[in-house]
Structures are given as C-alpha cells and as structure tokens.
A = this chain, B = another copy of it.
Amino acid sequence: MKDEQPAEVLGEGRFARFVRRNGWEFCDRTRVGGIVAVAGLTEAGEMVLVSQWREPVRAVVVELPAGLAGDEAALEGESLETAARREMMEETGCGGGRWEELLSGPPSAGLSSEIVTFFRATGLSRQGAGGGVGNEKIATHLVPFGELEAWLVGVQAKGWLVDPKVYAGAWFLAEAAGGKGAE
C-alpha cells in the first residue's frame, strides 16, 4: 500500500464528485453502498439484457441489469444480493431462479473508483413488466443465448452501444453451462 495523500475535490455534484489524489484524477460516487450487475438466464435459456439512454455517451446502451445498492434512504443497509434481485425485478420483471455472487471488479479503474459486484442468476422467470422505477425508461431484451453474438451485432448496426460487461456476463453464463454458447 502506498501512502494515502488527502484527496483534493476538484468538482462536487449531487451524485458524484471529481477527485485528485496522488496525481490521479477520477470520479467517485458519493451516495452508494455498492454497485451490482447480473448475468441472468431465463428457464428458456435466454440472456436477460436491458437497454436505456445514457447521456454520458449520448446513445442507447445495452447492458446487464444493474444498479446501485442503498442509494435511497429506504434501501440503506440492503445486502448486495438483495439489491441485485431488486434491480433485476425493477428493470426486467424477472425473478426466482438460482443466484450466485461472483467477483467484484472495477470497470474503469483508471478514471473511476466504481467497483461492480457481479451475480449469476439462472432459471429466472418473467414475473412482472419491468421498465425501471421513477423516471427510468428501461427496455428488457430476452435473447436466446445461442443467438447472442448475432443479436449484439444487430443492435450495434442500428447505432446502439454495448457495454463490455455484457460479454463478461456471457462468459459467466457459458462457464455455468460448461461451455461457450451453452450448446
């Protein structure tokens, strides 16, 4: 461990701040207990994906169902698995199944302090409409796992972007199935 210099706050927002420490500049979420993302597969073998407008990149982005743990007062102290199950249900209406916590890793370690905890959920079933809460506008996509590559190529052809964590999720699901593509 290197000595920690005090962080210098270069900019303060409502949800995050911009910090300099030991010569590095990065974003730091300020009201979050953790970040969760779920590689989910339905009983029918479909990968559960979502898409939504992401202003930082000004595009619709295809992502794993994901969200923040404990980002509202009523949710303070919730466990990461509780948050992951809640986000999956809110965003996609999918629930049930078998859940397993995987790694926690930083998706952008050079520019952000974010650490995402991944879950694998298999045997999910559609129990609600999804779509998100509040002013979230989230579309759900149930993609047959064997058609994933072609589907992702297709959405990129129409100008959407794909978060690389989707491919990490595909690896986690293939791992559970004992081989890529779950053939």
Contact = CB atoms under 8 A, between A and B. Distances in A.
A86 interface: no
Contacts of A110: 54, 56
B18 A13 contact: yes
Interface residues of A, number: 66
A6 interface: no
A27 B11 CA distance: 10
A47 to B, nearest CB: 12
Interface of A: 1-2, 4, 9-18, 20-29, 53-59, 61, 63, 103-116, 118, 149, 152, 156, 161-168, 170-172, 174-175, 179-181
Contact of A17 (B18, B63, B114, B156): B18
Nearest to A30: B25
A109 to B, nearest CB: 4
